[in-house]
Structures are given as structure tokens and as C-alpha cells.
Amino acid sequence: MDLKISTLGGEDAGKVKLSEEIFGLDPREDILQRVVRWQLAKKQQGTHKSKGRAEISRTGAKMYKQKGTGRARHSSARAPQFRGGGKAHGPVVRSHEHDLPKKVRALGLKHALSAKAKASNLIIIDDLALGEAKTKALVANFAKLGLTNALVVGGAELDVNFKRAASNIPNIDVLPIQGINVYDILRRGTLVLSKAAVEALEERFK
């Protein structure tokens, strides 16, 4: 698969041959869903907590005598049915993480990249570098490329000026190649890869 390379200013900078095994697959929604679900579960803090009856600071004495009152039999006021009592089966601090095979994760990334390529929402830039960290200049460059909602993935080291300029632009995310993931690819409209990022991906899946 051949794709045009552009400069950051929107000019033509040649072509690049993309691997069919990474960018030419027929995207499967079931695999993408599994990987996104795994990512979001891993991100959950799991710090939600409510107190059970054993954790309530309240007297444990029997409320009133067992017989002779004509009322229901009750013991502790910490029981869930009373105001101020503990929560029955409430949330506890836990990890929401679950396992997903490495091969499925790798396949999910390939399918996400292929989905962007198939929808013509993939742009290759020769170099993500700016002379100075000016957001206004970068916004003008993105306008030439037609980018309003995008994930930009650079090489192992991001250009400091580019990263600073892009941090102020809404709906634009910037990641090094080590941070590329299915969820961030799918949540943005366009995927922008540098030449270094493409080379790193092909090396990774070789």
C-alpha cells in the first residue's frame, strides 16, 4: 500500500510503502471492542468504597428487648435497613483489570491502524518539528492539512517545540510511538504518523 508523505506545511514530500499486514487488514469490530474494554478497565481507579455494617461507628447493643413490644425482632442498629446503618453489598476497593492475551492486543493495534487507513483518515508527515513553540503557527499548519480532531504520533523522542505548541490545541493529542494505543487512535478522527513512527511500527511487528 502506497501513501503520500506530506510536510508539516502541507507540501508533497514523496511516498511511503506501508505494510499490508499492519495497515491493510479488514478491521474487526469485535477485536477493537475487546482491546478498548481492556484498556478502559485497566484505567479505572477502583477506589469507590462504602461502609459495611462491621465498619459503622455505632452501638452494637440490642435495640430493645426481643419479646413483648409487638414490634419486629431487631438487634444491632448498624444493620442495612436502618438510617445510618451499613451498606449491604456495597462497592469495595478493588482492581477492575482483566487479562487479555498479548497477541489479541497486538492484533487490536493492527486493526485500529487498518481502520484509519481504510477510511482514508491516515496522514504521514515527514518530520514533526518546529523552529519555535508557537501554537498559532502550528494551528495554521494543521489547517493546511485539514486537521481539527487528530492523534499525532511521533518517533521515540518528540520535538519539544512541537509538543509544547500542540498542547494548547483542543482535540489534538500528541504521543511518542511507545504510547500508541487502540483507544486513543479510535477516539480521534484522524491519525497522523511521522515517518519515524511508521518505521518503528513496522519494526515492532516484523
Which of 120, 125, 121 shows the shortest CA–CA distance to 162? 125
The string of pLDDT tens digits covering residues 19-71 is: 999 999 999 999 999 999 999 999 999 999 999 999 999 998 999 999 999 99
| Integer Cα distance of 144 and 26 in angstroms | 30
Under a CB-based contact definition with an 8 Å cutoff, are residues 133 and 165 in contact?
A: yes
The string of pLDDT tens digits covering residues 1-32 is: 888 888 887 788 888 889 999 999 999 999 99
For residue 32, CA distances in Å to 5, 6, 41, 118, 169 come to 27, 28, 14, 15, 27
| Integer Cα distance of 94 and 4 in angstroms | 48
Whole-model pTM: value is 0.82
Residue 138, number of CB atoms within 10 A of its CB: 22
| Integer Cα distance of 107 and 102 in angstroms | 9
The grid cell for 178 is 511507545
